[in-house]
Amino acid sequence: MSIFDVFAKLEAEKAQKAAPAASPVEWLVVGLGNPGDKYAMTRHNAGFRALDAYCAKTGQKIDRLKFKALTGEGTFGGARVLFLKPQTFMNLSGEAVREAAAFYKIPPARIVVLFDDISLDVGRLRVRPKGSAGGQNGVKSIIAQLGTDQFPRVKIGVGAKPHPDYDLADWVLSRLTPDEEKQFVPALARAAEAAEDVVRNGAAHAAQYFNGKSE
């Protein structure tokens, strides 16, 4: 190693020590869905797709496997957050959320969950500060694992079943029609914006600006 290499190494070490430590994670931002190409474009993957839309826009990465989820740290709504895409399949989503929340000591009030809602028309959003699962199994799992329903959520409308006798699982695992997709894609970007507003200003503020709106 030459004298120049030695000086370069010393300067690099000095710069590393002087660099400010990364801020601790303050929030979890969770998108719900099922892993695998088979499910990628289904109604049930609205949460995954909302985070993917945010990543495509900002360059954020959610690609580190941790807590039974794909994760990525970033700044979101002025806070340091951990983005989370559980890889357990929908019905066990709460396991990933519980593990991450316990590790970073994040209270439920700072866990924002994005997911599909069949009670809303395609492209409609609804922000809530808390509430029941409403039949959404991923949310049901999170409530069971955290022991509370007191966490904010951003619901993304995927449309109701076409007929009362239509199997619910078949419906949420179906793909949107081309016309529905045109309404859905802008809603995914807005859902991420709504989640960011929850982090920055609270669920009540986000609800005022995003609830019921569509392109």
Q: Which residues are catalytic?
A: 44
Specify whether the CB–CB gap between 203 and 152 falls below 8 A.
yes
How many Cα atoms occupy the beta-carbon half-sphere of 37 within 13 Å?
Answer: 0
**Placement of tokens 């954020």 in the chain:** 60
- How far apart (Å, rounded) are the C-alpha atoms in residues 109 and 40? 29
Contacts of 131 (CB under 8 A, 6+ apart): 149, 153
Residue of 53, 29, 50, 49 whose CA lies nearest to 39: 49
Token digits of residue 94:
């709460």
